[in-house]
Amino acid sequence: MHIPDGYLSPSTCAVLYGASAPFWYAALQRVKAILTTRLVPLLSVMAALSFVIMMFNLPLPGGTTGHAVGVAIATIILGPWASILAISIALSIQAVFFGDGGITTLGANCFNMAIVGSLTAYAVYRIIAGRAALTSPRRVMAAALAGYTAINASALCAAVEFGIQPIFFKDPSGAPLYAPYPLHIAIPAMMIGHLTFAGLAELVLSAGVVAYFQRTNPSLLKLTAPGNLAPDDAIADPGSQSLWHTLRPLWIGLAVLLVLTPLGILAAGTAWGEWSARDFSNLQTREKMAIASRHTAPPAQPPRGLERLSSLWTAPFPQYAPSFVHRPAMGYALSGMFGAGAIILVSLIAGSLAARGKRKGSQEP
């Protein structure tokens, strides 16, 4: 899981450092606002603990042993933001001091394990644990699944990063310059190991530690349990007041991506499988489809099911180009704004309905 230097191209590494930066910034601001002067000692010691947890060799069913990252248990105890920082710091020390994982790939490793891992673990744990009591067996199951899902989500990200290397980076003879295997090999190769051993190690650790705390000190589980939040719990609660302030970099990132959407026009060829029924009768698009399918000619007629269902729904902006806009770049940008705006609107309505439901629930005797 710790990607060494040399497996990813420098541009992939740069993109993943860039993708991680807003999360690090948001997490640091959020945790700093809550912990103030306690930030330095708490994060230092918790990062050291994350490092030591990664060294534990866990006994797995079947007689083997395996290492866990401990991302789910860090998220459950510290909340997702502090967990992102603690795991990132532990990964940095592993890379810089112990040479475990690369220096150029540190951004990718932090993105996969610390960011995707913590957020996935948090979402799964909160959804499954719900409002169960701190000592409920449901929390043990939620922790187990959170650990298992988080490590597999991280592995999937790493597999996709490996799998896209041979698509974009080849030498003049066509030899892949970095991780050589395409997505259809990289994804199963990574996932088989993680769906079995690594996932199991994370599952055993997360469930075991939550069960241990339920017996000895359940108050440590309060941070990610809704309903009885202590003042410090706001680290974990994504709905507190300073949300706008800490999420500002993410909004700025979204705005930049919207402005950059016309870059899609530069892409050559056709997106494989995203064809309409009409494309099968157009000579030019048939040629593009054949190139995208490794020179396999598409069928002479569009598939019947595709033809029948294609008239069911007509998109308001077909081909990302509203009919009233004549410049494709403007059409792309407008479609991006419309799409992102629609998603944000739906999220805000859903969030407001959920908050109203929660308020009603808490007012009832």
Partner 1 sequence: MNFFERTLAGFLDAVEHALDAEEVSQANGLLQRLDPRVKVVGILMLIIAAAMAHKFWVIGAVFVIALILAASSRVSPLLLGKRVWIPVLLFTGIIALPAPFVIPGQVIGRIPGLDWPLTAQGLASARYLVTRVETAATLSVLLILSTPWTHVLKALRVLRVPVVIVVILGMAYRYIFLLIDSARDMLESRRSRMVGEMTGSDSRRLAAASVGVLMSKTLQLSGDVYSAMLARGFRGEVYMLDDFQTTAVDWIMLFCFVAIAAAAFYYGR
355 belongs to the binding site for partner 1 (CB under 8 A): no
DSSP calls for 159-212: HHHHHHHHHH-B-TTS-BSSS---HHHHHHHHHHHIIIIIHHHHHHHHHHHHHH
Please, which of residues 5-24 interact with partner 1 by CB under 8 A?
5-7, 9-10, 13
As a whole number of Å, the CA-based R_g of the chain is 24
**Least distance CB 127 / partner 1 (angstroms):** 23
User: Per DSSP, what are the bridge partners of residue 66?
Assistant: 58
* d(C-alpha 345, C-alpha 351), whole Å: 10
DSSP state of 8: S
Q: Tally the C-alpha atoms within 13 A of residue 270's C-alpha that lie toward its C-beta.
A: 19
Which member of 1, 15, 49, 141 binds partner 1 (CB under 8 A)?
Answer: 49
Q: Give the shortest CB-26-to-partner 1 separation in angstroms.
A: 14
* Residues 221-250 within binding reach of partner 1 (CB under 8 A): none
The one segment of 191-199, 200-208, 315-323, 350-358 that binds partner 1 by CB under 8 A: 200-208
Contact with partner 1 (CB under 8 A): which of 16, 27, 34, 46?
46
> What letter represents residue 156's amino acid?
L
Cα–Cα–Cα angle for 161, 163, 165, nearest 5°? 75
The distance of closest approach from Cβ of residue 170 to partner 1 in the complex, given in angstroms and rounded to an integer, is: 8
Query: Which CB, 19 or 48, lies closer to partner 1?
Result: 48
Footprint of partner 1 on 202-221 (CB under 8 A): 204-205, 207-209, 211-213, 216-217, 220
Number of Cβ within a 10 Å radius of residue 306: 13
How many residues are there in the chain? 365
Q: Name which of 68 and 289 has its Cβ closer to partner 1.
A: 68
Closest distance to partner 1 from the beta carbon of 229 (Å): 18
Range 70-99, binding partner 1 (CB under 8 A):
70, 73, 77, 89-90, 92-93, 95-99
- State yes or no: residue 52 binds partner 1 (CB under 8 A): yes
Q: Which of 22, 80, 102, 107 binds partner 1 (CB under 8 A)?
A: 102
Report the C-alpha gap between 270 and 279 in whole angstroms: 11
Residue 282's SS3 state is coil
Question: Per CB under 8 A, does 128 bind partner 1?
Answer: no
What is the crossing angle of helices 137-168 and 199-216, to 10°? Answer: 150
Coil, helix or strand at residue 42 = helix
> Which is closer to partner 1, CB of 201 or CB of 258?
201
Residue 18 C-beta: closest distance to partner 1, Å: 15
Scan residues 129-188 and list those touching partner 1 (CB under 8 A).
166, 171, 173-181, 185
In DSSP terms, 57 is beta-bridged to 67
Does 51 participate in binding partner 1 (rule CB under 8 A)?
yes
Binding of residue 56 to partner 1 (CB under 8 A): yes
Residue type, 84: I
